[in-house]
């Protein structure tokens, strides 16, 4: 004799697991400046594991973290719906010819049904018979399709942000090679001010990318010239060179650049580094965390 109350409690627990997974997806991908608890913990775990391997594994941290997060979301969705279906197998479902209902209804069938429905494959060998299950299975298919779409959209959002960051880091590296910090006092005021203001604008854009797509932090660069963790210090030198100018418009642009650097350093420290201290301290910790200790100093 089955305890129907326990069956419904298990199904409700499964529904709660699904809701938790969907909420984490929403907070990670669509919530303004937000990150899901599960995705944050999974990403940090992968980062720490890769850091133990140092240079060999660290560049793989970002892609592996994205795969792990999507895998965790998928596992929660599959597990949750399996818990929803499990207590009602086999009575609530009809089986195709060749399958014996008397030998069905175990955890494997529940997971199988959940996987097939999440993947929207629709084999039709196990179909819902109870009215509420006939509504639940299409709903799961919608969740599965939405999860696939979200994962693809995430990739399409992340890599443009990474390209913007790399391009900006390369620009800072070229300015450093051109000894731009020492040239600032000799440049015309309009040229120097425009350069510093443009750098401040780009840093602000990078800061927004870092806030909206926190996982981009975990994509370190092997090449120092394209590593923001190394080249941000060059922007700091340019800001300080502009601050010492005897022209007010250049000093104003330098102040804006300094504020942009303070802002991105505060985001890096609050979300990832937790070292406190000055902008120099945060940038040094940023470089060290990405495997470039003492580079660019």
Q: How many beta carbons lie within 10 A of that of residue 76, not counting itself?
A: 20
Dist CA 34 CA 27 (whole Å): 6
**Does residue 40 contact residue 47 with C-beta atoms inside 8 Å?**
no
Global confidence as pTM: 0.86
Backbone angles phi, psi at 128, to 5 degrees: -70, 145
Q: Return the closest-CA partner of residue 231 out of 273, 173, 287.
A: 173
Dist CA 125 CA 90 (whole Å): 12
Is there a cis peptide before residue 211, judged by omega within 30 degrees of 0?
no
Q: Which pairing describes strands 126-128 and 93-95: parallel, antiparallel, or unpaired?
A: antiparallel
Please give the structure tokens belonging to residue 294: 């003492």
Q: Distance between alpha carbon 18 and the CA centroid of its chain, in Å?
A: 20
Tens-binned pLDDT, residue by residue, of the chain (297 aa): 456 889 889 999 999 999 999 999 999 888 766 678 999 999 999 999 998 766 678 889 999 999 999 999 999 999 999 999 998 888 888 887 666 656 666 788 899 999 999 988 877 778 888 889 889 999 999 999 999 999 999 999 899 999 999 999 999 999 999 999 999 888 888 999 999 999 999 999 999 999 989 999 999 998 999 999 999 999 999 999 999 998 999 999 999 999 999 999 999 999 999 998 899 999 999 999 998 875 444
Q: Return the closest-CA partner of residue 81 out of 108, 120, 113, 128.
A: 113
């Amino acid at each position: 004799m089955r305890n129907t109350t326990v069956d419904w409690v298990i199904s409700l627990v499964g529904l709660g697991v699904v809701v938790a997974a969907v909420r984490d997806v929403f907070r990670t991908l669509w919530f303004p400046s937000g990150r899901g608890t599960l995705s944050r913990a999974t990403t940090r775990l992968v980062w720490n594991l890769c850091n133990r391997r140092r240079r060999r594994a660290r560049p793989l941290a970002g892609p592996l973290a994205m795969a792990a997060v999507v895998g965790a979301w998928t596992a929660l969705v599959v597990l949750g719906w399996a818990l929803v279906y499990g207590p009602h197998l086999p009575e609530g479902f009809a089986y195709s010819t060749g399958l014996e209902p008397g030998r069905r209804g175990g955890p494997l069938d529940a997971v199988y049904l959940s996987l097939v429905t999440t993947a929207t494959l629709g084999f039709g060998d196990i179909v819902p018979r109870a009215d509420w299950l006939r509504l639940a299975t299409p709903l799961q298919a919608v969740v599965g399709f939405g999860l696939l779409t979200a994962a693809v959209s995430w990739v399409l959002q992340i890599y443009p942000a990474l390209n913007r960051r790399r391009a900006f880091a390369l620009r800072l590296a070229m300015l450093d090679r051109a000894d731009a910090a020492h040239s600032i006092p000799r440049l015309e005021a309009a040229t120097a001010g425009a350069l510093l203001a443009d750098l401040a604008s780009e840093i602000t854009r990078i800061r927004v990318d870092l806030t909206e797509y926190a996982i981009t932090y975990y994509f370190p660069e092997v090449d120092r010239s394209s590593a923001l963790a190394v080249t941000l210090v060059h922007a700091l030198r340019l800001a300080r060179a502009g601050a010492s100018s005897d022209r007010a418009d250049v000093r104003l642009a330098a102040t804006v650049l300094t504020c942009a650097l303070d802002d991105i350093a505060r985001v890096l420290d609050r979300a990832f580094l937790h070292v406190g201290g000055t902008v120099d301290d945060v940038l040094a910790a940023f470089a060290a965390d990405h495997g470039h200790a003492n580079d660019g100093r």
